[in-house]
Amino acid sequence: ATFFLKVKNNSNSEQFYHIYYYDDNATFENADLSYTINSPAAADNAIAVASYVTRPSWTDYKGHNWSYSINNTAGTISSFSSRGPRIDGVKKPDIAAPGQGIISARDKIVTWPGSEDDYVIDNDGVNDGEGPADYLLSQGTSMACPIAAGAGALLMESNSSLKGNPESVRNALFQTASNNGEQNNTDWYGYLNVLNALNYIASTTPSSTPTPLTSPTPTSSPTPGGNGFLSGTVYDQDNFPLEGVTVTIIGNSSSDSIDTNEDGYYEFYDLAAGDYILTYEKDGYQGQTRNISLGEGETLGIETITLELIERGSISGHIVNTKGDPVESAKMKLKGVTTKTLFNTSSDADGFFEFTDLDANTYVIIANKKGYKRSSKTVILKEGEEKEIEIKMKKAKKTVLRVTP
């Protein structure tokens, strides 16, 4: 069927709007590809990463040669990568990284041999179909973002003063990208260059001071160095010492961190007088924060901190068609709305799927299978909750959508 959509402005002021498609089988005719950026890439304080073509062709493990039918020139922005600017004119994304034609370790959920054979890559370079073939060619901004994140981690590892200083990390990445600090609406700050960024931070000193984003700002201004001392212990909810808890102390002009030992003990010394924030973090446990004041030369013992385990939940269920029959091998993606958790799985012969070890959150579960319309369901999961759901998938029909002013 053909549908016509008319958008009318009844206000007295100019309005801006974007139109998006939800179903993969619906397309816009003469769509403006310059305006496809949306959440979360449009966020003010996020580094939005675009994808560019890394390799336009490849050889699978059977020796067959393949290439992308569109956008098959290395170094060009991927066709699937969102374009800016935002609706308010702000230039987004921020930077481009390799994201199309990426060869990496093959996830265990990718069946081999199977439907994705064309993208499976041999280990030894001898494409004889014998294997082992533990690599896979893939694409997406989900490939480009980890590369940019890894670049940021590498910068912080090479210069510890960058930790907790996101503005300096952003500046190093943007100033050394291929556009030399200039931003446009074609490739934005340009293509990521990690070596240039490393050389840049080696020759500059970050100007801003790390500031905790979720904690009150200390009121005093201690000078670095002193003879103050504080110590304490961290226990679990069963009153046993908790080893490996990262304890971080943050003052106005200094910060430090240490992991608790086997007795749950930690200490900081040579501290200047002033106000500090202590944070306690360990994977799988609920973190805690303490605000303390330390006098000149004071020795302070902190009361025992107790960290409680985070109870994990699960979401499971079945994928069925409109007749109630199970849909096998549907690709399932789970996204956390607030934590940005991302998990993938697929339905079995009975249409069953399961996501485990989940924090309390609102999740969006998306199901895809060739020949079916994409289906999704939003699930609110409480701490430790086990929830069962059913997702129905409809057969896909080819639809053309025309948009007129």
pLDDT in tens, 333-351: 998 877 667 899 999 999 9
CATH architecture for residues 228-307: Sandwich (2.60)
Which CATH topology does 313-397 take? Immunoglobulin-like (2.60.40)
**The predicted structure's pLDDT at residue 224:** 42
pLDDT of amino acid 183: 81
Percentage of the chain with pLDDT > 70?
81
pLDDT score of 63: 86
86 vs 33, more confident: 86
- Read off φ and ψ for residue 57, nearest 5 degrees: -145, 160
Q: Is a pLDDT exceeding 80 seen at residue 50? A: yes
Phi, psi of 309 (to 5 degrees): -65, 145
Token duo for residue 108? 């265990």
Average pLDDT, the chain: 82
Integer Cα distance of 288 and 304 in angstroms: 12
Residue 60 pLDDT level (bands cut at 50, 70, 90): confident
Do 32-203 and 228-307 show the same overall fold? no
Distance separating alpha carbons of residues 373 and 178, to the nearest angstrom: 40
CB within 8 Å of 197: residues ≥ 6 apart? 151, 155, 172, 173, 176
pLDDT of res. 398: 62
pLDDT-based confidence at 203, cuts 50/70/90? confident
Pull the structure tokens for residue 15: 């309005």
Token duo for residue 141: 């901004």
| Interatomic CA distance for residues 178 and 190, integer angstroms | 5
Q: What is the pTM of this model?
A: 0.45
Residue 64 confidence (pLDDT):
87
- State how far the Cα of 310 lies from the Cα of 121, in Å rounded to an integer: 39
pLDDT one-digit tens code per residue, 149-169: 999 999 998 888 888 888 889
Q: 213: pLDDT confidence band, cut at 50, 70 and 90? A: very low
CA distance 394 to 371: 9
Q: What average pLDDT does the segment 340-367 reach?
A: 90
Topology (CATH level 3) of domain 32-203: Rossmann fold (3.40.50)
Enumerate the domain spans of the chain: 32-203, 228-307, 313-397
Residues in the chain: 405
The residues pairing with 355 across neighbouring beta strands, listed in sequence order, are 315
The C-alpha atoms of residue 355 and residue 357 are separated, in whole angstroms, by: 7
Cβ-proximal residues to 350 (8 Å cutoff; 6+ apart), any chain = 318, 326, 328
Higher pLDDT, 330 or 82: 330
For residues 199-214, one letter each, b for 16 or more C-beta atoms within 10 angstroms of the residue's C-beta and e for the rest, the string is: ebbeeeebeeebeeee
